[in-house]
Structure 1
Amino acid sequence: MSLELHKVLLVLSIANSALVRAALEVRIESVTKIFGDNETLFEFNFRLVGRQRLLNGTMIIHVDLDNEYDVSNEDSNIPKSTEACPIKKGEYYARNVEVIADNWVQYTKLGLVRSILVVKKDNVVYGGIDVVLVLSQKIM
């Protein structure tokens, strides 16, 4: 093989490796319910199932979640909300929910990410959930 052909093959292999895209792989490490200070009006009853650690369970809302309540994220880089979206009281379920973070690459760092979601009214906590995720890079 000539030297020129080796150069062409080298350039093609470098160009091909540059096309490899990076994405994130997410594993839910833990999910913990947060109880209210005086009473728990928002119950997050979730558990992790199987090797894939899929999220299963229910969210029970005992009162309408309206603009009187603040939903906030603490210990996280997710933007904080100052207004709650209106959700009617009732029981809501999640079955085999998998967190996919392919488009999070530009927003977050690798490693452990902890997110605490709490529902408050007048600085009193009425329930919430504490989620720990492990983010690692996968090659596509």
Structure 2
Amino acid sequence: MSVWCATVVLILWLDPTLCRRISNYDVRLESLEKIKVDEETLFEFNLKLIGRDRLLNGSLISHVDMDEQYDVWIDIATFKNGEWMPMNLKIRTKPCDFMKNIFGKYYQPSFLDSNLPTGDDLCPFHKGEYYAKNVAMSTDNWPSFTIKGLNRVSFSFLKNGKIVGGFVVVINLFDRNT
């Protein structure tokens, strides 16, 4: 995919006024696992799914300020015909862009009981220990390219091309019972 085409897709995905939402879907967190790091762990994700409702609980520890010397990679795959099929959209960004334009817009509204920074405090993401309790993900403002069914999203945090933390979450998007 050309850089121009990837940029257009990313803009449409990140700008909530340009693409339709998938608010007619509900989401269930199916699994969550840490990504194996290359050398040292700078970002620890001690999160787990609890109960029948699969609520996200736990902590994340940032051992460093996540500034622009780091990279954030997001890879998405959908489960089709018994195997994971990567989507043609791979997001490669910097922490400030990720925290403000992806986490802040699409995920943070679900973190009601948490000490994660908000607003202007999202960047840089300061070192420290953060918690999240009983997080039920909401699709109310998610972009429309997310496909109904099983989706695997990998969040990798890199420094100098080496993975220093991350996690993989599998979600199931299904029709909302109205």
Structure 2: unaligned runs, 5 residues or longer: 1-22, 78-86, 97-123
> Cα offset for 1:105?
7.0
Please tell me the residue identity of whatever aligns with 2:171. L
1:16: which partner in 2?
A: none
**TM-score in terms of structure 1 length:** 0.77
Residues 24-61 of structure 1, C-alpha deviations (whole Å, 9 max, x = no match)? 01100000011310111100110011111000000001
Unaligned runs of at least 5 residues, structure 1: 1-21
Listed as ranges, the matches of 1:1-140 within 5 Å are 23-76=24-77, 80-85=91-96, 86-104=124-142, 106-140=144-178
Shift of 1:79: 6.7
Distance, in Å, in 1 between the alignment partners of 2:47 and 2:141 is 25
Partner AA of 2:147 in structure 1: K
1:75-117 deviation digits (Å, cap 9, x = unpaired): 3567724211211111011000010113447332111010000
Asked which structure has the greater CA Rg, the reply is: 1
| Runs of 4+ residues over 4 Å off in structure 1 | 76-79
For 1:54 and 1:60, locate their aligned partners in 2 and report how far apart those are by CA, in whole Å: 19
Report the TM-score when normalising by structure 2.
0.62
1:47 & 1:134 partners in 2: Cα distance?
Answer: 16
The structure where helix makes up a greater share of residues is 2
